[in-house]
Amino acid sequence: MDAVASITPGGMPLEVAGLLALVADVQVLRNRLDGLVNDVLVAVARVDDDAMREEFPQEEFGSDFVGRVALHSQAPELVAPCLGVSVHVAQGRVVTAVELALRAPLLVDQMRAGRLEAFRAGLLHQELSDAPAPVEDEIVMRMVARADPVGGWSETAGPLLRRTRSLLARLAP
């Protein structure tokens, strides 16, 4: 983060090593921001859930929070202008944020730590969305454990998805 803190308007490192360090530091910040945005989207959906309970007092919601968000929440309409996206896109982001928080909290932890960005976290979770929760947990734990010794998530989306599919085929054929 030192490289980011030392940048002044109009001043950038002149050597490639300094520029690459800056790119890496900025990416860590972006990943942390992805984690924060995920947390905030979940918080907006949870606050809005109270309004849904008032709007649908006879409906028994149980624990299907994601379904309530997808079907009834005003959260997408509330956050769409803040994100500069359509309500449809915002709905996808809110639902993904809630799903990640509920079903793959280790991925959100990785984002908060600056190690993983929302794009790959979302892809990984999407690939596992039909898997039973214990299988998703196991695969996410394995993926996090694999990333830890090498210092981060070095696989691009394609290899990451292939590895995920391979684990999924073994654990939940």
Q: Find out whether 100 and 122 touch, Cβ atoms under 8 Å.
A: yes
**Mean pLDDT, residues 69-96 taken together:** 88
Torsion on CA atoms 145, 135, 113, 30, rounded to nearest 10: 120
Residue 124 lies in a domain: yes
Cα-Cα-Cα-Cα dihedral sign, residues 63, 69, 70, 73: positive
Q: Measuring CA to CA, how many Å separate 109 from each of 54, 75, 145, 155?
A: 32, 23, 13, 18
Quote the number of domains for the chain.
1
Exposed e or buried b per residue across 43-69, where buried means at least 16 C-beta atoms within 10 angstroms of its C-beta:
ebbeebbeebeeeeeeeeeeeebbebb
Structure tokens at 95: 């639902």
Residue 49 lies in a domain: no
Q: Which pTM does this prediction carry?
A: 0.81
Fill in the DSSP letter of residue 57.
Answer: T
Q: What's the pLDDT band for 102 if we cut at 50, 70, 90?
A: confident
Residue 68 lies in a domain: no
Residue 142 lies in a domain: yes
Q: Which region, left, alpha or beta, applies to residue 95 given φ > 0 means left and ψ of -120 to 50 means alpha? A: alpha
Residue 53 lies in a domain: no
Of all residues in the chain, the percent with pLDDT exceeding 90 is: 46
Residue 112 lies in a domain: yes
Residue 32 lies in a domain: no
9-44, pLDDT tens digit by residue?
667 777 899 888 888 889 999 999 999 999 999 888
Range of the domain at 148: 105-173
* Amino acid letter, 73: S
